[in-house]
Amino acid sequence: MSSGGKPEKVSVEEAMDRRGKGEFVRSATAFHDDITANGSGGFKAEANRYHLYVSLACPWAHRTLIVRKLKGLEDAISTTVVDWYMAQQGWNFTDQKPKCTKDPVYDAKYLSEIYFNVVPDYGGRYTVPVLFDKKTKVIVNNESSEIIRMLNTEFNEFCKTEDQKKLNLYPEHLKSKIDEVNDWVYPYINNGVYRCGFATTQEAYNAAVKPLFEHLDKAEDILSKTRYLTGNQLTEADIRLFTTLVRFDTVYVGHFKCNKKRIMDYQNIWGFVRDIYQTDGIAETCDQEHIQKHYQQSHLSVNPSGIVAIGPDIDFNAPHDRDKFSK
């Protein structure tokens, strides 16, 4: 059965062993409840009931912002954007930086307080995105791959337009193909860049960087034949790849040592990135200031000086010819 491209579940012993070898091992998310249109999942889809805590720097949170935007759910689901700088205590709230906002629920200083208000003895990581129920004061879900599927189908009543209501990013006839793509994009590309950047031995880095570029080559080949990863229809698979690619040349190439090739060196992937970026509403969810300052100021084990690089200059609005596949 497909994993849906979620973080792998490994035992504590295995994780410790792999980390001891210099590997980056991502922890699994902890909250996995469902919101459904009829409430059968335990939580009923309602306007102004749910709140998203996000970071504009984080590719996982970015997925949820894109789907929320494409489905026209901005008025139905509120958001709080955390500070781009992540201190030792984790994500924090501020209204002193562009697009950042204070916590409207608890007036918390740190995101960790949201977790502890829900589970006082919580022992996991304080990650974004967080889908929070303001009515019952609980965290519904903090797994982005599950959140985007809820936003895709369960809030259709609250979409602004009929086209947004009809938009389905995980259609029945493409589910198996989408799952298949997610199952290699997640470990080798989405998480692959982190496995490169946070590797602490040459062996761990080598083991991550080779399959990263092998699978970028695979994506390049697919996108030389079709507009999107599963054909000529935009799906969640494209969004999940895009949020890594839009960060690749600005932070992953230099900061995470993923410099074998830039995304701009891939003719079809680079066209694909511009195509997705220029899709109505998506550019509004992208913020390179948050992205570059978060990675380069927060990851002091990778960039001890915390100096933010000046470039590169990238024109995501440059013309592309991806629509040729739809003719």
Which residues are catalytically annotated?
Answer: 58, 194
CA-CA-CA-CA torsion sign (264, 268, 269, 273): positive
Element (H, E) at 12: helix 12-20
Name residue 85's amino acid.
Y
Q: 284 with 230: CB under 8 angstroms?
A: no
Please provide residue 139's backbone torsions phi and psi, each rounded to the nearest 5 degrees.
Answer: -85, 120
Q: List b or e across 26-62, with b for residues whose CB sees 16 or more CB atoms inside 10 angstroms.
A: beebbbeeebebeeeeebebbeebbbbbbbbbbbbbb
Number of neighbouring beta carbons within 10 Å of residue 157: 11
CA 55 to chain centre: 9
Burial class of 81 by CB neighbour count within 10 A (0 to 12, 13 to 18, 19+) = buried
Residue whose C-alpha is closest to residue 81's, from 287, 243, 306: 287
Helix, coil or strand: residue 81: strand
Q: 204 with 198: CB under 8 angstroms?
A: no
Secondary structure of 119-185 as H, E, C letters: CCCCCCCCCCCEEEECCCCEEEECCHHHHHHHHHHCCHHHCCCHHHHHCCCCCHHHHHHHHHHHHHH
- Report the distance separating Cα 138 and Cα 140, nearest Å: 6
